[in-house]
């Protein structure tokens, strides 16, 4: 077996943390970047000022870091942040040039929910329909029946009939093709048992642009706040920062499996208001990202009630609605919950985000998705439409795929059985992977990990020895970022430090996807374990007397 942390690799880690491997690097050195725990921290401002001064000294180019929009400069997006950049830009090239120089032979991207990049195969029926809609001339040819299933051909016809002029190359209505929106609405109604309307659907290039649209609509200034979970998917903090609003965090409770408590929401809203913040909306990610919890129905009811009472827009990130891995939990949309409580369109502004990138399909590259917008005045709805219209429309393939995931093959369709085999195979495999990784993490000294009830991630907590925290501080890095970089350098496994998602003060985590193909999981676990044990051996505290205030140095679980 390879040695996981050679002296050479160890030196590379240290050099990388100092930024020394890239003396003329185009990016801020990893250490400097990692040392900024939050966009608004003093160190970020210091770095900003330092850069501004150094740029000025070099002359006055038309555009420099001191003359760009400071909101752009300050926001962070850790999912594609420094750790993954280091993997892509440095280690991949190194592996390519000199495969023997690193203690691993491939990089395993566990940083992002991107299933197809790790070998997940597309669902055949969906791709058949997309392929036919891309080249409708095929539908007139008899040879097509030799290559495509008959229900895919039939579905392609149905979809083309919904598109004016059958023109998949035309801009659609800015909300998306009406017939496809109606089909999605029918799928929502079938899922929830409550009415849904195609007029309320806004098709988008994935869920991210939809989130940006809502932030753009709701945020007027830094006096407008958006309640977001911590830990959170950093799209939210990034979008709020880019639109100039205030991020109002509420903490999920790790002790209760990342529970979302209304008391905590209330406390944070009151505190934000006492600072003069107008809280506009509550973001709930269910199933959770990065935390993987699935909310209970009773909990959801309390959240709806809270939004109603406090006059908040409920922004429900429901992109993992098909990713449920435990028997005792089920996905309920917030709209279903609200309607089941008797609330109508008049009572509560509610936006549900859905994406073709997640679920069992995982079609990230198609950039499809939608938001269902209910409970807004007609005149506000018109403003949302206007924002959508500036980019004209979302891509038609993504629109078609959005309709397919909300209306997959049914019993009796030619593709139904093979479709179900593909679908169930993916979901049950993801459930097994989640369980295997969770158990592995929990078996290790200094790691505790909640179950992934849903979504695509585990978010283990690192109980780091004080010596490791000290080493990170010496390198100018957040402790979990230091750990993640060491992990990468030793094993090629790319995870995202918990500091990229936010976490309770004094706690450290990382997010790891459950997406590597199942046959690779044992090797990943063994590589991970070996690294982690050596890391703990390297840094294990000799005495508890060294513990500083605020740092967690337990040797086992909580």
Segment 411 to 430, residues that bind its own copies, using CB under 8 A:
none
Interacting stretch for its own copies, rule CB under 8 A, among 23-31, 180-188, 417-425, 454-462?
23-31
| Candidate residues 1, 97, 298, 390; the one interacting with its own copies per rule CB under 8 A | 390
Take residue 329 and report the two structure tokens written for it.
């939990």
Residues 131-150 contacting its own copies, CB under 8 A: 131-132, 134-135, 137-138, 141, 143-144, 146-147
Concatenated DSSP letters of 229-288? EES--THHHHHHHHTT-EEEEEE-BGGGTSB--HHHHHHHHHHHHHTT-EEEEEEEESS-
Compute the least distance from the CB of residue 130 to its own copies, in Å: 4
Question: Tell me, what DSSP letter sits at residue 546?
Answer: G
Would you say 416 and 410 are in contact if contact means Cβ atoms under 8 Å apart?
yes
Residue closest to 129 by CA, chosen among 374, 519, 397, 318: 397
Q: Which residue lies nearer to its own copies by CB, 234 or 465?
A: 234
Handedness of CA 229, 230, 233, 234 (dihedral sign): positive
Compute the least distance from the CB of residue 107 to its own copies, in Å: 11
Question: Tell me, what DSSP letter sits at residue 541?
Answer: -
Rounded to whole angstroms, the Cα distance separating 6 from 102 reads 9
The site for its own copies, by CB under 8 A, has a size of 103
Query: In which residue are the tokens 């590379």 written?
Result: 12
Q: Which residue lies nearer to its own copies by CB, 199 or 558?
A: 199
314 phi/psi in degrees, rounded to 5: -95, 115
Interacting stretch for its own copies, rule CB under 8 A, among 21-29, 402-410, 524-532, 550-558?
21-29
Residues 299-358 contacting its own copies, CB under 8 A: 311-313, 349, 357
Q: Which residue lies nearer to its own copies by CB, 76 or 332?
A: 76
Residue closest to 432 by CA, chosen among 353, 535, 557, 520: 520
Query: In which residue are the tokens 């496994």 written?
Result: 493
Rounded to whole angstroms, the Cα distance separating 167 from 149 reads 23
Compute the least distance from the CB of residue 115 to its own copies, in Å: 8
| CA dist list (Å): 307 to 266, 280, 284 | 10, 10, 11
Residues 215-254 contacting its own copies, CB under 8 A: 216-220, 235, 238-239, 242-243
Residues 24-63 contacting its own copies, CB under 8 A: 26-28, 51, 55, 60-63
Interacting stretch for its own copies, rule CB under 8 A, among 98-106, 382-390, 417-425, 446-454?
382-390
Rounded to whole angstroms, the Cα distance separating 412 from 263 reads 49
Compute the least distance from the CB of residue 187 to its own copies, in Å: 20
Compute the least distance from the CB of residue 183 to its own copies, in Å: 17
Take residue 459 and report the two structure tokens written for it.
């978010």
- Mapped onto helix, strand or coil, the DSSP state of residue 227 is strand
Compute the least distance from the CB of residue 417 to its own copies, in Å: 18
Rounded to whole angstroms, the Cα distance separating 300 from 256 reads 16
Q: Which residue lies nearer to its own copies by CB, 69 or 344?
A: 69
Rounded to whole angstroms, the Cα distance separating 74 from 76 reads 6
* Largest Cα–Cα separation, the chain: 80
Q: Which residue lies nearer to its own copies by CB, 111 or 286?
A: 111
Note the helical H segments in 360-464.
378-390, 396-405, 416-442
| CA dist list (Å): 276 to 93, 273, 314 | 50, 5, 21
Q: Which residue lies nearer to its own copies by CB, 59 or 550?
A: 59
Binding mask 96-125 for its own copies (x = CB under 8 A): ----------------x-xxxxxxx-x-x-
| Candidate residues 382, 439, 537, 558; the one interacting with its own copies per rule CB under 8 A | 382
Task: Please report whether residue 386 would count as binding its own copies according to CB under 8 A.
Answer: yes
| Candidate residues 10, 14, 45, 75; the one interacting with its own copies per rule CB under 8 A | 75
Compute the least distance from the CB of residue 136 to its own copies, in Å: 8
Compute the least distance from the CB of residue 415 to its own copies, in Å: 13
Rounded to whole angstroms, the Cα distance separating 248 from 240 reads 10
Compute the least distance from the CB of residue 217 to its own copies, in Å: 5
The 10 Å Cβ neighbour count of residue 131 is 15
Residues 165-224 contacting its own copies, CB under 8 A: 165, 167-174, 205-206, 208-209, 212, 216-220
Compute the least distance from the CB of residue 425 to its own copies, in Å: 16
């Amino acid at each position: 077996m390879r040695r996981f942390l050679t002296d050479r690799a160890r030196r590379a880690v240290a050099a990388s943390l100092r930024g020394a491997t890239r003396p003329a690097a185009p990016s801020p050195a990893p250490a400097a970047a990692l040392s900024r725990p939050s966009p608004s921290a003093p160190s970020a401002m210091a770095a900003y000022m330092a850069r501004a001064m150094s740029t000025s000294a070099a002359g006055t180019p038309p555009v420099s870091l001191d003359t760009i929009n400071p909101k752009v400069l300050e926001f962070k997006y850790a999912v594609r942040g420094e750790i993954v950049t280091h993997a892509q830009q440095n280690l991949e090239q190194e592996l390519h040039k000199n495969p023997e120089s690193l203690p691993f032979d491939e990089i395993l991207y566990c940083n992002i929910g991107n299933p197809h990049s790790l070998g997940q195969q597309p669902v055949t029926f969906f791709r058949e329909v997309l392929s036919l809609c891309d080249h409708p001339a095929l539908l007139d040819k008899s040879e097509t029946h030799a290559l495509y299933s008959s229900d895919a051909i039939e579905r392609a016809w149905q979809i083309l009939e919904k598109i004016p002029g059958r023109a998949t190359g035309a801009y659609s209505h800015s909300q998306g093709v009406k017939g496809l929106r109606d089909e999605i609405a029918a799928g929502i109604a079938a899922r929830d048992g409550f009415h849904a309307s195609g007029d309320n659907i806004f098709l988008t290039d994935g869920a991210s642009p939809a989130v940006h649209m809502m932030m753009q609509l709701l945020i007027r200034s830094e006096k407008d706040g958006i309640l977001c979970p911590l830990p959170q998917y950093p799209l939210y903090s990034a979008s709020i920062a880019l639109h100039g609003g205030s991020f109002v965090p509420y903490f999920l409770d790790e002790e209760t499996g990342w529970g979302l408590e209304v008391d905590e929401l209330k406390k944070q809203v009151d505190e934000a208001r006492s600072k003069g913040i107008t809280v506009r909306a509550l973001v709930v990610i269910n199933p959770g990202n990065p935390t993987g919890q699935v909310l209970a129905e009773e909990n959801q009811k309390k959240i709806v009630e809270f939004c109603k009472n406090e006059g908040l827009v409920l922004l429900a990130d429901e992109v993992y609605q098909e990713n449920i891995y435990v028997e005792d939990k089920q996905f309920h949309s917030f709209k279903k919950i609200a309607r089941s409580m008797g609330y109508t369109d008049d009572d509560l502004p509610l936006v549900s985000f859905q994406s073709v990138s997640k679920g069992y399909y995982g079609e990230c590259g198609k950039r499809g998705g939608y938001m269902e917008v209910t409970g807004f005045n007609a005149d506000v709805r018109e403003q949302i439409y206007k924002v959508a219209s500036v980019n004209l429309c979302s891509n038609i393939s993504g629109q078609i795929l959005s309709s397919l995931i909300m209306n997959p093959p049914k019993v009796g369709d030619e593709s139904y059985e093979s479709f179900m085999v593909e679908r169930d195979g993916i979901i049950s495999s993801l459930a097994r992977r989640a369980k295997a990784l969770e158990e592995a993490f929990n078996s290790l000294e200094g790691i505790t990990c909640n179950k992934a009830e849903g979504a695509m991630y585990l978010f283990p907590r690192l109980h780091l020895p004080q010596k490791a925290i000290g080493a990170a501080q010496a390198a100018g890095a957040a402790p979990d970022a230091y750990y993640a970089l060491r992990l990468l350098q030793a094993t090629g496994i790319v995870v995202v430090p918990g500091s990229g998602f936010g976490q309770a003060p004094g706690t450290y985590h990382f997010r790891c996807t459950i997406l590597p193909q199942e046959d690779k999981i044992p090797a990943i676990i063994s590589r991970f374990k070996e690294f982690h044990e050596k890391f703990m051996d390297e840094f294990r505290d000799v005495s508890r007397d060294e513990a500083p205030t605020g740092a967690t140095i337990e040797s086992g679980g909580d």
